[in-house]
Amino acid sequence: MTKPEQQETHDAIIIGAGVTGIFMLHKLLGMGMDVTVVEAAARLGGTWNKNRYPGCRFDSESYSYGYTFSKEIFEEWKWSEHFAGQPETLRYLEFVVDKLGLIDHMQFGCTVKTATYDEEGRCWHVELEGGRTLSARYLCTAIGLLSAPTLPRIDGMGDFEGESFHTYDWPEEEVVLAGKRVAVIGTGATGVQIISEIADKVDQLTVFQRRPNWCAPLHNSPVDDQTHEDFKSRFDEWVELIQASPSGFAHQPIIRRTKDVPKEERYAFWEELYASPGFGIWVGNYFDATLDPEANAEFSEFIARKTRERIDDPEVADILIPKDHGFGTRRVPLETRYYEQYNRDNVRLVDVSKSPIECITAKGIKTAEEEHEFDLIIYATGFDAITGAFDRMEIIGRDGEKLADKWMDGPQTYMGIQVPGFPNLLTLAGPQSASHGSNFPPAIEAVCGWACGLIEYMRDNGYETCEPTNAAHEEWEKSVREAYGNTLIPTAKSWFTGYNSNIEGHDKMRYLVYLRGAVNFRSELVDVSSNGYRGFDIR
Ligand code: NA7
Q: What pLDDT is stored for residue 6 in this prediction?
A: 64
Q: What pLDDT is stored for residue 379 in this prediction?
A: 98
Mean pLDDT on 111-128: 98
Band (pLDDT 50/70/90 cuts) for residue 7 is: confident
Candidates 208, 354, 372, 501: which one to mutate for ligand 1, based on the most atoms within 8 Å of Cβ?
Answer: 501
**What is the b/e burial string over 504-527, where b = at least 16 CB atoms within 10 angstroms of the residue's CB?**
eebeeebbbbbbbbbbebbebbee
What are the counts of helices (DSSP H) followed by strands (DSSP E) for the chain? 18, 20
Q: List CB contacts of 55: < 8 A, sequence separation 6 or more.
A: 193, 194, 196, 197, 198
Residue nearest to atom 6 of ligand 1 (CA): 186
Domains 8-148+385-538 and 151-213+333-382 share a fold: yes
Instruction: List, for residues 330-365, the tens digit of each pLDDT value.
Output: 999 999 999 999 999 999 999 999 999 999 999 999
SS (H, E, C) 84-151: CEHHHHHHHHHHHHHHHCCHHHEEECCCEEEEEEECCCCEEEEEECCCCEEEEEEEEECCCCCCCECC
Residue 76 is predicted with a pLDDT of 97
Residues 6 or more apart from 538 whose CB is under 8 A from it? 457, 458, 461, 463, 465, 466
Q: Report whether 46 contacts 184 (CB < 8 A).
A: no
Q: What atom of ligand 1 comes closest to residue 352's alpha carbon?
A: 20
| Crossing angle between the packed helical segments 518-530 and 235-243, to the nearest 10 degrees | 90
User: pLDDT at residue 414 above 90?
Assistant: yes
DSSP 383: B
Domain positions in the chain are 8-148+385-538, 151-213+333-382, 245-330
508-535 pLDDT, tens digit per residue, is 999 999 999 999 999 999 999 999 999 9
Q: What is the pLDDT of residue 98?
A: 98
Contact call for residues 274 and 217 (beta carbons, < 8 A): yes
Alpha-carbon gap, residue 232 to 71, rounded angstroms: 8
pLDDT greater than 60 at residue 2: no
Q: How many CA atoms lie within 13 A of 465 on its CB side?
A: 20
Residue 153 CA: nearest ligand 1 atom is 18
The whole-angstrom separation of Cα 64 and Cα 391 is 30
- 183 and 364 Cβ atoms separated by less than 8 Å: yes
Q: Name the residue at shortest CA distance from atom 14 of ligand 1.
A: 381
Residue 5 has pLDDT above 70, yes or no: no
Q: Which residues line ligand 1 (CB under 6 A)?
A: 146, 152, 185-191, 210-211, 331, 352, 380-383, 495, 501-502
Share of the chain above pLDDT 90, in %: 98
- Across the chain, mean pLDDT equals 96
3-state secondary structure 190-249: HHHHHHHHHCCCCCEEEEEECCCCCCEECCCCECCHHHHHHHHHCHHHHHHHHHCCCCCC
pLDDT digits (tens, 9 = 90+) for 471-489: 999 999 999 999 999 999 9
- Domain 8-148+385-538 CATH class label: alpha beta
If one residue of 47, 151, 190 were mutated to test the ligand 1 pocket, choosing by the most ligand atoms within 8 A of its CB, it would be 190
Protein residue with its CA nearest to atom 25 in ligand 1? 382
Residue 175 to residue 377: CA distance in whole angstroms: 12
Work out which ligand 1 atom sits closest to the CA atom of 192: 26
Distance in angstroms (rounded) separating the CA atoms of residues 364 and 376: 8
Distance 494 CA to ligand 1 centre (A): 8
pLDDT tens by residue, 40-83:
999 999 999 999 999 999 999 999 999 999 999 999 999 999 99
Return the minimum-mean-pLDDT range out of 2-11, 95-104, 157-166, 265-274. 2-11
User: Residue 180: which residues within 8 A CB-CB, separation 6 or more?
Assistant: 202, 203, 204, 375, 376
Mean pLDDT of 298-317: 98
Query: pLDDT tens digits, residue range 75-84?
Result: 999 999 999 9
Tell me: pLDDT of 398 over 60. yes
Site to substitute for ligand 1 among 147, 381, 435, 507, most atoms within 8 A of C-beta: 381
pTM confidence score: 0.97
Contacts of 148 (CB under 8 A, 6+ apart): 383, 384, 385, 388, 389, 391, 392
> Would you give the DSSP letter of residue 287?
G
Indicate the pLDDT class of residue 406, thresholds 50, 70 and 90. Answer: very high
Q: How far is the CA of 187 from the centre of ligand 1 (A)?
A: 6
Side-chain half-sphere exposure of 321, counting CA atoms within 13 A: 18
Q: One-letter amino acid identity for 454?
A: L
Closest CA to 328 of 137, 144, 492: 492
How confident is the model over 440-450, as pLDDT tens digits? 999 999 999 99
- For residues 164 and 176, the answer to whether their CB atoms sit within 8 Å is no
Is 470 a residue whose pLDDT tops 60? yes
- Give the pLDDT band of residue 3 (cuts 50, 70, 90): low
Predicted local confidence at residue 436, as pLDDT: 82
When the candidates are 3.50.50.60, 3.40.50.10860, 3.40.50.720, 3.20.20.70, the CATH number that belongs to 151-213+333-382 is 3.50.50.60
Predicted confidence (pLDDT) at residue 492 exceeds the cutoff of 90: yes
Q: Which residues contact 284 (CB under 8 A, 6 or more apart)?
A: 251, 252, 253, 254, 273
Cα separation, 130 vs 101, whole angstroms: 28
**pLDDT > 90? residue 95:** yes
The mean per-residue pLDDT over the stretch 405-428 comes to 96
Q: Is pLDDT of 435 > 90?
A: no
* Residue-level pLDDT at 243: 94
CB 44 within 8 A of CB 89: no
Question: What residue type is assigned to position 18 of the chain?
Answer: G
Q: Say what the alpha-carbon torsion angle 39, 40, 41, 47 is, to the nearest 10 degrees.
A: -70
| b/e map 257-286, b = 16+ CB within 10 Å | ebeeeeeeebeebbeebeeebbbbbbbbbb
Residue 57 · residue 90 · CB < 8 Å: no
Q: How far is the CA of 186 from the centre of ligand 1 (A)?
A: 5
pLDDT at site 434: 84
